[in-house]
Structure 1
Amino acid sequence: MANPYAGEVALVIDGQRHVLKLTLGALAELEAGLDSGSLVDLVERFEGGAFSSRDVVALIVAGLRGGGWQGDAGALLQADITGGPMQAAQVAAQLLARAFALPGDAA
């Protein structure tokens, strides 16, 4: 079960439930892979609803990697995500919110 207080979010990919989490290492990998800007810019894009599908994929991959997954973006692009792109975008936004929420904040 995903623990929101630990920053975890669940997502079903190819019929298998995964727990995603943005660890410090996953955040560093995410930031290094961004085409432009920083993590703050990424958060601002999500807050403003101006995020791209590339942002969503990068966040999902980083969260999966933080949860112990060994795959890469190419594998995710070929996968079936239960709930489709909308669910992926919601999970990406939840990951960001939970990674940067203070204890006790509703995220």
Structure 2
Amino acid sequence: MANRRRGEVAATLGGERYTLCLTLGALAELEDAFAVADLAALGARLGSGRLSAEDLAKLLGAGLRGGGHEIADESIRAWPAACLPEVASAVAELLAATFGEGGENPREPQAD
């Protein structure tokens, strides 16, 4: 069961139930995948409102691995396009759980 206080979300993808979470390791993985220097740059990149299918695959993969599921991005890329609405919804919920909705989450990363 997903614990929203820990940033976890539950998602049903392709008929399977998963827990997604962006742990510190998952966030570090995303900084590397998006070639950004820090969390502020990652937030700016993700907050652009323009995510590609590749972006969704990277975000979903990091979230799944952070939630304890051993799955490679290549496996996610092989999912049928019909899963796109489920994936987009799960990623949006994951980002809201991690960074807050409307920028009002007290857990939002602080730049030093």
Structure 1 residue identity aligned to 2:6: A
Structure with the larger RCO, 1 or 2 (CA within 8 Å, 6+ apart): 1
Residue 20 of structure 2 corresponds to 20
Residue 31 of structure 1 corresponds to 31
Residue 78 of structure 1 corresponds to 78
Paired residue secondary structure (2:76): helix
RMSD, aligned CA: 2.6
Q: Distance in 2 between matches of 1:40 and 1:51?
A: 17
TM-score (norm 2): 0.73
Q: CA deviation at 1:46?
A: 4.0
Task: Name stretches of at least 5 consecutive residues in structure 1 with no aligned partner.
Answer: none
Structure 2 residue identity aligned to 1:2: A
Task: Name stretches of at least 5 consecutive residues in structure 2 with no aligned partner.
Answer: 108-112
Structure 1 residue identity aligned to 2:91: A
Q: Distance in 2 between matches of 1:90 and 1:14?
A: 13
Contact 2:2 2:9 in 1 (8 A): yes
Aligned length in residues: 103
TM-score (norm 1): 0.75
Q: CA deviation at 1:42?
A: 4.1
Q: Distance in 2 between matches of 1:89 and 1:75?
A: 17
- Map 1:1-80; keep pairs closer than 5 Å: 1-34=1-34, 36-38=35-37, 39-79=39-79
Structure whose CA Rg is larger: 2
What percent identity do the matched residue pairs reach?
40
